[in-house]
Structure 1
Amino acid sequence: MDAMSLTQTRYTISEVESRTGLTQHTLRWYERIGLMPHVDRSHSGQRRFSDKDLDWLAFVGKLRTTGMSVADMVRYAELVREGEHTVDQRRELLERTRREVRARISEMTDALAVLDYKIEHYAGKAVRQ
């Protein structure tokens, strides 16, 4: 272990719950299904999360926000663990997700325009419909 590892901040599962908003049940589930990389344990067996783990959880939260399936998130995590030779596969997975997000943004933008039009109509600013 290098000196940096010895002084690295470690968080209990309760602390991670309060920092991330994820329940302890969800954190344990993420670990069980392979979405969360191996979490270090204390001498008594309690999980000890690192800043790197918190960064990973923040990234997973962004992936969840995109609507990425749990299966795809787990696949991405597996690819990360497999190493650098999977960079192209990871990029392809993220690019596909980006296309899906952009399509949903376009749909939502269209829906927002309709809502804006109707709101203006009901406010007496539109002449017809």
Structure 2
Amino acid sequence: MNMKAFSTLAGLSSYTLRYYEKVGLLNKIQRNSSGHRVYTAKDLEWITFIKRLKDTGMPLIKIQEYAQLRALGPSTVLDRQQLLEHHKDQLQAHIERQQQHLLALENKINLYKANKVS
């Protein structure tokens, strides 16, 4: 598929896709005889995963590290697993902190509802 179709499916601008390619997140994008990028379903799966990592707070430098390991092939599976496990632990800690914040907000709201403002 061309960049416009891929951009629509991926939910990212063409500028972002070109940036991701420039910083090494999208490697080996094929080109047609006219030199235009041609994306595949596999590229869409990969960009969806990149977006998930980004949405869960993984820093760009770590996403780039993951992408570099992925490009090196199957010999890096354990390194990629460790990177994802570390991110998962950080995400879990973040979620727990957010749940504590949510509980504190709910408690304050309940005080207001009961007119026991402090």
Q: TM-score range by the shorter chain?
A: over 0.9
Deviation beyond 6 Å, 4+ runs, structure 1: none
Q: Which amino acid aligns with 2:72?
A: E
Deviation at 1:24, TM superposition (A): 0.5
Aligned twin of 1:3: none
Aligned twin of 1:50: 40
Paired residues for 1:1-129 under 5 Å: 11-124=1-114, 127=116, 129=118
Instruction: Report the more deviating stretch, 105-114 or 80-89.
Output: 80-89
Q: Aligned pair count? A: 118
Deviation at 1:127, TM superposition (A): 5.0
Q: Which amino acid aligns with 2:82?
A: E
Q: % of aligned pairs identical?
A: 33
Deviation at 1:128, TM superposition (A): 6.6
Deviation at 1:123, TM superposition (A): 1.4
State TM-score, norm by structure 1: 0.86
Give the whole-Å Cα distance in 1 for the aligned partners of 2:96 and 2:47.
28
Give the whole-Å Cα distance in 2 for the aligned partners of 1:24 and 1:56.
16
The unaligned stretches of length 5 or more in structure 2 are none
State TM-score, norm by structure 2: 0.94
Aligned twin of 1:6: none
- Aligned-residue RMSD, C-alpha: 1.3
